[in-house]
């Protein structure tokens, strides 16, 4: 609690200098209230960003492990089924008007969920960086704040970019293999 009070008191001057100074007592009250709200919001944003950065990093690692696990499961299923459809396979037609009480499941390649997991992680990282950016703006940490934001962005975004590029290559090779097997028939 003492740390939060010290942060609030140290930030008060930088935030107060950002507000307009007026001569009327009523406006002075609102300016003071505005200043305190900015300081409290900045402290909450800073604490949240500091606490969420390790969680976001662990979430990114978990996503990468989940994608690799899904790729291994898809590879195992392809090996079990042979990976190709029969030559006379035309697909299934389902007429919903004649299908009372039937449950329909559409099975797709589970690897296509991986880009959605990466997109979700990008959204989480964006929120963390937005909170950290707000805290840096409130506390007027100009150069140091930009360095902190740059390092945080690099630590969180580089693993996602690397995994997205790797996944793009994996999905493209899977797509090319699927296209060749259908054109050869």
Q: How does pLDDT run across 47-101, given as a tens digit for each residue?
A: 888 899 999 999 999 999 998 988 888 788 777 766 555 555 555 555 566 656 6
Residue 60 resides in a domain: yes
Percent of the chain with pLDDT over 90: 24
Residue 16 resides in a domain: yes
CA distances to 35, 78, 94, 127, 183 from 109, rounded to whole Å, are: 53, 10, 20, 30, 20
Percent of the chain with pLDDT over 70: 62
Count of domains observed in the chain: 1
What is the model's pTM? 0.63
Mean pLDDT of the chain, nearest integer: 75
Greater confidence (34 vs 148) lies with: 148
Work out the average pLDDT over 126-135: 90
Range of the domain at 172: 2-79+112-179
């Amino acid at each position: 609690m003492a740390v939060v009070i010290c942060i609030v008191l140290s930030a008060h001057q930088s935030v107060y200098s950002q507000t307009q100074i007026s001569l009327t007592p009523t406006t002075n009250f609102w300016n003071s209230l505005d200043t305190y709200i900015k300081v409290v919001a900045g402290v909450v944003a800073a604490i949240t960003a500091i606490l969420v950065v390790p969680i976001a990093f662990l979430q990114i690692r978990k996503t990468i492990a989940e994608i690799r696990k899904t790729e291994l499961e898809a590879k195992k299923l392809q090996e079990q089924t042979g990976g190709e459809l029969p030559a006379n396979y035309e697909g299934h037609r389902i007429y919903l008007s004649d299908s009372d009480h039937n449950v329909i499941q559409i099975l797709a390649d589970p690897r296509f969920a991986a880009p959605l997991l990466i997109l979700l992680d990008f959204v989480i990282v964006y929120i963390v960086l937005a909170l950290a950016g707000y805290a840096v703006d409130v506390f007027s940490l100009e150069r140091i704040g930009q360095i902190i934001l740059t390092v945080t962005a690099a630590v969180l975004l580089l693993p996602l970019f690397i995994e997205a590029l790797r996944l793009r290559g994996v999905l493209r090779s899977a797509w090319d293999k699927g296209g060749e097997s259908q054109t050869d028939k």
